[in-house]
Amino acid sequence: MEILKISNVTKKFGDFLAVDNLSMQVNEGVIFGLLGPNGAGKTTTIRMITNILFPDQGEILIMGEQINPNLKNKIGYLPEERGLYKKNKVIEQLEYFGRLKGLSQREANHRAKFWLNKVGAAGWENKKIEELSKGMAQKVQFVATVLHNPKILILDEPFSGFDPINTELIKNIILEMKANGTTIILSTHQMYQVEQLCDEILMINQGKVVLSGNLREVKKEFGTNHLVIEFTGNGDFLDNIEKSKIIDISANRVELRIEKYDEAQQILKNAVINNQITKFEIKEPPLNEIFIDIVSKSIGERNEKQ
């Protein structure tokens, strides 16, 4: 079921075209990756979805309706620019945000304590925001975003400020919320996180859609053209490989781009002469490379038109 539909939306700021005739749809219960380089129009799109900004043309429907106060309370939005009141205590802050979303103070207090415990922040209730580290404050901001059990959760760079342990904690919470029926729109520059979490993606550049679809199908479209070799030995076989094909190399591992299967077999034949091969794998290209390739081509096409 379609939970969000954007049809032919355009947004300008003066002469700058931030979003250019954008159309997209998000199905209920998925994690949807909204991707693109800096300045692509992601944040502007999110702000129009949340009714912070209004499109110059086009239509945005949430659960079949235009945005209204009732729908606003079904959306949770974690912006990239965090917004907590530094002099307030954590519990005061969370009760305030909960009441803005239609909760009573008692219910907001109850849910705040539940979520603080869930993110490993029990006992922080009476700390002031200014007393918290960046990562601690980020947890409070996340709790404020999910406190009212939103139907749609929009996360803009949600892992910023977290160490690996807390990043994993938040990832697991996001997956748990998805399992419980929450639709999640994730905007991040970390492509490996997109690969771990997202079901569907849409990539925009200069306000236009440049790639969209099911993540697994998108990767398949780009072919199985990555070869990973792990080895013990002198690595002399690497001398016969064009440097432009090598993506990443270390003391005993190389990742490279191949054009056909026969090429991989020849590389293996050369590698086993003076090396012990511990891993030889042909796989799909990582999303990060697809991202770079698509954006580079998009910029190149724009420059050719100018």
Query: What pLDDT digit, counting tens, does each position of 24-49 carry?
Result: 999 999 999 999 888 899 999 999 99
Which amino acid does the sequence have at 80?
A: E
Query: What pLDDT digit, counting tens, does each position of 191-250 carry?
Result: 889 999 999 999 999 999 999 999 988 887 877 788 999 999 989 999 888 888 888 888
The strands making up 2-13's β-sheet, listed across from edge to edge, are 16-27, 2-13, 57-62
Please check whether residues 108 and 246 belong to one and the same domain.
Answer: no
Please check whether residues 7 and 109 belong to one and the same domain.
Answer: yes
Please check whether residues 118 and 186 belong to one and the same domain.
Answer: yes
Q: How far apart are CA 136 and CA 78, in angstroms?
A: 15
Please check whether residues 75 and 190 belong to one and the same domain.
Answer: yes
Q: What is the domain extent for residue 83?
A: 2-217
Q: How far apart are CA 49 and CA 34, in angstroms?
A: 12
Q: Number of structural domains, the chain?
A: 2
What's the confidence (pLDDT) of residue 259?
80
Please check whether residues 110 and 166 belong to one and the same domain.
Answer: yes
Is the backbone of residue 283 left (phi > 0), alpha (psi -120 to 50) or beta? beta
What's the confidence (pLDDT) of residue 254?
92
The answer to the question of residue 137 being in a domain is yes
Model confidence at 294, pLDDT cuts 50, 70, 90, reads: confident
Share in percent of the chain as helix, strand, coil (round to 5)? 40, 30, 30
Q: Which ranges constitute the DSSP H helices of the chain?
A: 42-49, 69-72, 90-100, 105-118, 134-146, 164-179, 191-197, 215-221, 261-274, 287-305
Q: Which residues contact 276 (CB under 8 A, 6 or more apart)?
A: 231, 232, 233
Q: How far apart are CA 255 and CA 229, in angstroms?
A: 6
What's the confidence (pLDDT) of residue 44?
95
The answer to the question of residue 32 being in a domain is yes
Whether residue 275 contacts residue 234, with contact meaning beta carbons closer than 8 Å, is answered with yes
Q: How far apart are CA 205 and CA 146, in angstroms?
A: 29
Task: Report the SS3 class of residue 302.
Answer: helix
Model confidence at 124, pLDDT cuts 50, 70, 90, reads: very high
Please check whether residues 273 and 201 belong to one and the same domain.
Answer: no
Please check whether residues 158 and 245 belong to one and the same domain.
Answer: no
Average pLDDT over residues 104-113: 96
The answer to the question of residue 295 being in a domain is no
pLDDT at 6 over 70: yes
Instruction: Give the burial class of 305: count Cβ atoms within 10 A of its Cβ; 0-12 exposed, 13-18 middle, 19 or more buried.
Output: exposed
What's the confidence (pLDDT) of residue 306?
52
Please check whether residues 211 and 228 belong to one and the same domain.
Answer: no
What's the confidence (pLDDT) of residue 291?
84
The answer to the question of residue 150 being in a domain is yes
Please check whether residues 18 and 115 belong to one and the same domain.
Answer: yes
The answer to the question of residue 291 being in a domain is no
Assessment of whether the complete model's pTM goes beyond 0.75: yes
Average pLDDT over residues 71-80: 90
pLDDT at 142 over 80: yes
Query: Which whole-number Å values give the CA distances from 84 to 16, 150, 179, 224, 247, in the listed order?
Result: 30, 19, 29, 45, 41
User: What average pLDDT does the chain have?
Assistant: 90
The answer to the question of residue 302 being in a domain is no
Radius of gyration of the chain (CA): 23
